[in-house]
Chains A and B, each alone.
Chain A
Amino acid sequence: MADSFLIDALRSGVDGSIDANVGPRPSDLTLRLGRTGDLPAAAAVLIGSHAMALATVVATDETATPDGDLKVRYVFEPIVPGTTDRFVTLLISVDAACPEAPSLTAAVPAANWHEREMQDLFGIVSVGHPDPRALVVHDGWPRGVFPLRKTFDGSRHVAVEPADEFPHLVAEGEGVFEIPVGPIHAGIIEPGHFRFTSVGETVLHLDARLFYTHRGLEKRMEGLAPLDAFYVAERICGVCSVAHGMGYCEALEQIAGVDAPPRARIIRSIALELERLYNHVGDIGNICAGAAFHYGTATGAYLKERLQQMNERLAGNRFLRGLVIPGGARLDLPDDLLRVLVATLQDTLAGLDSLMGRIEANPSVVDRLDDTGVLKHQAALDLAVAGVAARASGVDRDARRDHPHGAFALPEPPDLHVVTVPKGDAMARVTVRAREARESIRLVGEFVRRLEPGPLRVALAEPLPGGRIGISAIESARGEAVHWLRTDALGRVERYHLRSPSYHNWPAVALAAETAIVPDFPLVNKSFELCYSCTDR
């Protein structure tokens, strides 16, 4: 069996013991490493010979349990298309009094931010990390205070104190100067700080600093009843409301041991595709804004507006909040609404085709987009980049196919055509979005056809089983979002962790921007169109 092959390979690659168990889902594996120092070797086996990539890293505070330690779970997933849906977790135990773990960043560049976050929120030091600067808590945060430890009371405001300047990584040389941008940017956009080092217009280096919108939502959800926590999860990010709501629901339903009914699954997937659609159409319009093509901006915005008004008709909220609920779907989609939906989508398809035609026929826009902000294929693989950015650099990953969810988890799921383009520039990302939007429209039509009458919701037994873990991966508009959830003994949320697709993609933006000139940076940034609030939580 593939599992035992994997376990044997790991056992031979490490010195200490490995305690292998099935979990969290029946197809997953959790491997507890006896020696913390074996972590890099084990990760090397998974990445090197088993074609896996880092999915997420979850640290937990288990000092109150009999183990009395901190635990870190490094979750890997296969990247070869067509492999079975599974997650392989490497679990290590970290001493709470002297919390150290070996750093994976040298071999697994995607682990960079995870380890820095772990250090800020739990105090777990990643030994050998090449860049151990603070990530989540900005200047003036008291030292030695770790917000996600159980002993820290997260409900009180901690005052902001004056502090030294954050040490940005800048390039040196004669005539080199720095351009600081942000955190408050010129347009209507979320906050982040970008420190360019440049000579004239050439970008020598870009150091991006995020987590300005860190609201401490993971801490907020701890101790909440599962249904209350759902409303928080749905509002982590505005444009990923359905995706994150759905991810939380699927993880919760795993813990509860229930399956959402088929009609609810299809409604959920319709909502997810509608979210992908309005995001892609709006993003194409925004990219035109970055290229100063105002016809494109206005048309994209108009198409997006019509889709959002359609959302409001379906769900009562322009961001489709209130459609998904733990256990199923909160609202039904009656036939008259579905007819209007299909008609709107046909209009949108025509509008999108027309817009893409105008973009591709406009030499100045194409000139701005071609070869701008190139993300190389190997860099996309190394950083475990997800979503549109990955597929536009030739990386074939889509969570709808690799970790089926919603309607794709039904017995005979519809066909899914995953779009990849090898080039990796801004034009490739526009092309991928346009094709995916068309695919979403086709999928919604397919889902509508497959809707059968049935129950919308299944009840979740209260209280939920304690100490169980649920994990789900949802393909949001920006890529795969991985949710990890665990309940406590009373059936409330004990720990929730979201790894949004933007989390892995932000370092890729810095790489892509370094191939472009400074005035092209807004265009490069918009071509990725990542969520700051998903990343920051």
Chain B
Amino acid sequence: MLRILINALRTGVVTTRYPAEPSVPPERFRGAPMLRPGSGLPPPAVCPTGALSEHFDAGRRHVALDLARCVFCGRCAEDPWAGAVAMGRDFELAARCRDDLRIEVVADDLTVPAAELAAGPTPDPNAEAARAASEIHRVLGRSLHLRHLDAGSCNACDWELAALLNPVYDVRRLGIDFVASPRHADGVVVTGPVTRNLETAVRRTVEAVPDPRVVIAVGACAASGGIVGEGYASAGGVDRVLPVDVYIPGCPPRPEAILFGILVALGRLDARRQPREGGRVGAAPAVSLC
């Protein structure tokens, strides 16, 4: 017992201060791809999950990247498209609305300034406020109990959720905890594309959560079906079965990204902002955290 105490004291405090202080991922980290308009943009077939799509509008080629489908494999940023696509380091990608996760770029128009075009659609602040249900913030803002629901994930997202409870991220310091029964929960964190064998259990679990409740889809599979897609054994994403409050892209999303997403769901942080130039990342909290 004494040795345990000594070891603990010697290890000291290892907890990160995120989100009070920004978290900088390592150099090789593959965050949201940044598309530069030009002719070098890759064809949609390059993407293994179909996150890249193109359409033609008035003769101009528009290329869109759906972050909810992206598995961050980095293939679109490899040669010969390395000039047009770069894997950024932005991981705070959670959004309330699926459309906010679409980045659209016009492929062959060089006259439009890069900064303007590299941005995604500006989230409408009024809609934002309306959607950030004040009731949720008032009731759940200071203490949120989440029920984890594995709807058929590959377990990477599940392990990242489990990592939130380790001494480094210690999500309980933010008033967030994971509970055993949906009856004790304020919300459900769903991973996986909702497999056929689990569909009934998924519906029953969310139904068993008392109101008000939030549903958070974590990972590419939950947000859109991801690498699994829709199939005989998969519904193709949580929103095919349940209404989703927040989408957190990633394959898997880093624990800080998940944390960001949960705080967005609570209204304690604003959702995905416009990506900054050069891939600088940083999160300024919308309200003070206590």
Give the size of the chain A interface in residues (CB under 8 angstroms).
67
Q: Is A220 within 8 A of B154, CB to CB?
A: no
Q: Collect the chain A residues with CB atoms within 8 Å of residue B54's CB.
A: none
Q: Collect the chain B residues with CB atoms within 8 Å of residue A212's CB.
A: 152, 195, 197-198, 201
Q: Which of A137, A184, A186 is most buried by chain B, counting CB atoms within 10 A of its CB?
A: A184
Q: Is B71 within 8 A of A190, CB to CB?
A: no
A331/B28 contact (C-beta < 8 A), A212-B152, A231-B227, A321-B73 known: yes
| Segment 20-62 of B: residues with Cβ below 8 Å from A | 25-30, 48-49
Task: Check B104 for interface membership: any CB of A closer than 8 A.
Answer: no
Q: Is A190 within 8 A of B28, CB to CB?
A: no
Q: Is A308 within 8 A of B163, CB to CB?
A: yes
Q: Is A188 within 8 A of B162, CB to CB?
A: yes
Q: Collect the chain A residues with CB atoms within 8 Å of residue B240's CB.
A: 157
Task: Check B130 for interface membership: any CB of A closer than 8 A.
Answer: no
User: In whole angstroms, how far apart are the Cα atoms of A191 and B153 in the complex?
Assistant: 10
Q: Is B197 within 8 A of A533, CB to CB?
A: no
Determine which of B29, B154, B159 lies in contact with A236 in the assembled complex, contact meaning CB atoms within 8 Å.
B154
Task: Check A466 for interface membership: any CB of B closer than 8 A.
Answer: no
Q: Collect the chain B residues with CB atoms within 8 Å of residue A41's CB.
A: none
| Segment 161-184 of B: residues with Cβ below 8 Å from A | 161-163, 165-169, 178, 180-182
Q: Which of A298, A299, A313, A316 is most buried by chain B, counting CB atoms within 10 A of its CB?
A: A316
Task: Check B69 for interface membership: any CB of A closer than 8 A.
Answer: no
| Segment 192-208 of B: residues with Cβ below 8 Å from A | 192-193, 195-201, 205
Q: Collect the chain B residues with CB atoms within 8 Å of residue A177's CB.
A: none
A316/B167 contact (C-beta < 8 A), A160-B196, A215-B193, A238-B159 known: no
Task: Check B233 for interface membership: any CB of A closer than 8 A.
Answer: yes
Q: Collect the chain A residues with CB atoms within 8 Å of residue B252's CB.
A: 238, 318-319
Q: Collect the chain B residues with CB atoms within 8 Å of residue A357's CB.
A: 3
Determine which of B30, B160, B198 lies in contact with A316 in the assembled complex, contact meaning CB atoms within 8 Å.
B30
Task: Check A21 for interface membership: any CB of B closer than 8 A.
Answer: no
Nearest CB of A to B94, in Å: 18
In this complex, what residue of A is CB-closest to B231?
A216
User: In whole angstroms, how far apart are the Cα atoms of A154 and B150 in the complex?
Assistant: 22
Q: Collect the chain B residues with CB atoms within 8 Å of residue A160's CB.
A: 196, 199-200
Determine which of A214, A313, A532 lies in contact with B233 in the assembled complex, contact meaning CB atoms within 8 Å.
A214
Q: Is A191 within 8 A of B198, CB to CB?
A: yes
Task: Check B229 for interface membership: any CB of A closer than 8 A.
Answer: yes
User: In whole angstroms, how far apart are the Cα atoms of A363 and B11 in the complex?
Assistant: 24
Q: Is B195 within 8 A of A214, CB to CB?
A: yes
User: In whole angstroms, how far apart are the Cα atoms of A295 and B9 in the complex?
Assistant: 12
Q: Collect the chain B residues with CB atoms within 8 Å of residue A58's CB.
A: none
Interface residues of A, dominant DSSP: loop
Nearest CB of B to A283, in Å: 11
A183/B228 contact (C-beta < 8 A), A216-B233, A313-B28, A316-B26 known: no
Q: Collect the chain A residues with CB atoms within 8 Å of residue B158's CB.
A: 188-190, 238
Task: Check A99 for interface membership: any CB of B closer than 8 A.
Answer: no
User: In whole angstroms, how far apart are the Cα atoms of A64 and B71 in the complex?
Assistant: 34
Q: Collect the chain A residues with CB atoms within 8 Å of residue B48's CB.
A: 227-228, 231-232
Nearest CB of A to B108, in Å: 26
A220/B231 contact (C-beta < 8 A), A239-B155, A302-B166 known: yes
| Segment 179-193 of A: residues with Cβ below 8 Å from B | 183-184, 186-191
Q: Collect the chain A residues with CB atoms within 8 Å of residue B28's CB.
A: 312-316, 331
Nearest CB of A to B176, in Å: 13
Task: Check A69 for interface membership: any CB of B closer than 8 A.
Answer: no
User: In whole angstroms, how far apart are the Cα atoms of A160 and B199 in the complex?
Assistant: 8
Q: Is A239 within 8 A of B149, CB to CB?
A: no
Task: Check A213 for interface membership: any CB of B closer than 8 A.
Answer: yes
Q: Collect the chain A residues with CB atoms within 8 Å of residue B156's CB.
A: 235, 238-239, 241, 319
Chain B, 72-91, contact with A by CB distance < 8 Å: what is the 0/1 string?
11110000000000010000
Task: Check A354 for interface membership: any CB of B closer than 8 A.
Answer: yes
Q: Which of B181, B236, B240, B251 is most buried by chain A, counting CB atoms within 10 A of its CB?
A: B251
Interface residues of B, dominant DSSP: loop
| Segment 93-123 of B: residues with Cβ below 8 Å from A | none
Q: Is A301 within 8 A of B150, CB to CB?
A: no
Q: Collect the chain A residues with CB atoms within 8 Å of residue B192's CB.
A: 213, 215
User: In whole angstroms, how far apart are the Cα atoms of A516 and B158 in the complex?
Assistant: 27
| Segment 218-267 of B: residues with Cβ below 8 Å from A | 226-236, 240, 251-252, 254
Interface size class of B (residues with CB under 8 A): 35 or more
| Segment 287-346 of A: residues with Cβ below 8 Å from B | 295, 298-299, 301-302, 304-305, 308-309, 312-319, 321-322, 330-331
Q: Collect the chain A residues with CB atoms within 8 Å of residue B30's CB.
A: 316-317, 322
Q: Is B166 within 8 A of A304, CB to CB?
A: yes
Q: Collect the chain A residues with CB atoms within 8 Å of residue B193's CB.
A: 215
Task: Check A147 for interface membership: any CB of B closer than 8 A.
Answer: yes
Nearest CB of B to A270, in Å: 15
User: In whole angstroms, how far apart are the Cα atoms of A27 and B97 in the complex?
Assistant: 55
Q: Is A231 within 8 A of B155, CB to CB?
A: no
Chain A, 194-233, contact with B by CB distance < 8 Å: what is the 0/1 string?
0000000000000000011111110110000001100110
Q: Is B228 within 8 A of A215, CB to CB?
A: yes
In this complex, what residue of B is CB-closest to A160?
B199
Determine which of A155, A302, A321 lies in contact with B231 in the assembled complex, contact meaning CB atoms within 8 Å.
A155
Q: Collect the chain A residues with CB atoms within 8 Å of residue B29's CB.
A: 312, 316-317
In this complex, what residue of B is CB-closest to A285?
B166
Task: Check A101 for interface membership: any CB of B closer than 8 A.
Answer: no
Determine which of A186, A211, A282, A354 lies in contact with B181 in the assembled complex, contact meaning CB atoms within 8 Å.
A186
Task: Check B290 for interface membership: any CB of A closer than 8 A.
Answer: no
Nearest CB of A to B11, in Å: 7
Q: Is A138 within 8 A of B197, CB to CB?
A: yes
In this complex, what residue of B is CB-closest to A217?
B228
| Segment 18-54 of A: residues with Cβ below 8 Å from B | none
Q: Collect the chain A residues with CB atoms within 8 Å of residue B127's CB.
A: none
Q: Is A213 within 8 A of B232, CB to CB?
A: no
Determine which of B3, B87, B195, B205 lies in contact with A213 in the assembled complex, contact meaning CB atoms within 8 Å.
B195
In this complex, what residue of A is CB-closest to B11?
A302
Q: Is A213 within 8 A of B198, CB to CB?
A: yes
User: In whole angstroms, how far apart are the Cα atoms of A304 and B72 in the complex?
Assistant: 23
Q: Is A156 within 8 A of B232, CB to CB?
A: yes
Chain B, 134-164, contact with A by CB distance < 8 Å: what is the 0/1 string?
0000000000000011101111111111110
Nearest CB of A to B49, in Å: 8
In this complex, what residue of B is CB-closest to A220?
B231
Q: Is B4 within 8 A of A358, CB to CB?
A: yes
| Segment 483-523 of A: residues with Cβ below 8 Å from B | none
A-B contact pairs, 12 of them (CB 8 A): A157-B231, A188-B158, A215-B195, A220-B228, A231-B48, A231-B73, A235-B156, A236-B154, A238-B157, A298-B166, A312-B25, A318-B160
Given known contacts A213-B152, A214-B196, A295-B4, what 8 new A-B pairs fall within 8 Å (CB)? Answer: A138-B197, A157-B235, A213-B197, A231-B75, A295-B8, A305-B168, A319-B156, A322-B74
Q: Across the A-B interface, give the 5 residue pairs with the lowest CB-CB distance, nearest first.
A: A238-B156, A301-B166, A216-B233, A186-B180, A316-B28
B residues in contact (CB < 8 Å) with A: 3-4, 7-8, 11, 14, 25-30, 48-49, 71-75, 87, 148-150, 152-163, 165-169, 178, 180-182, 192-193, 195-201, 205, 226-236, 240, 251-252, 254
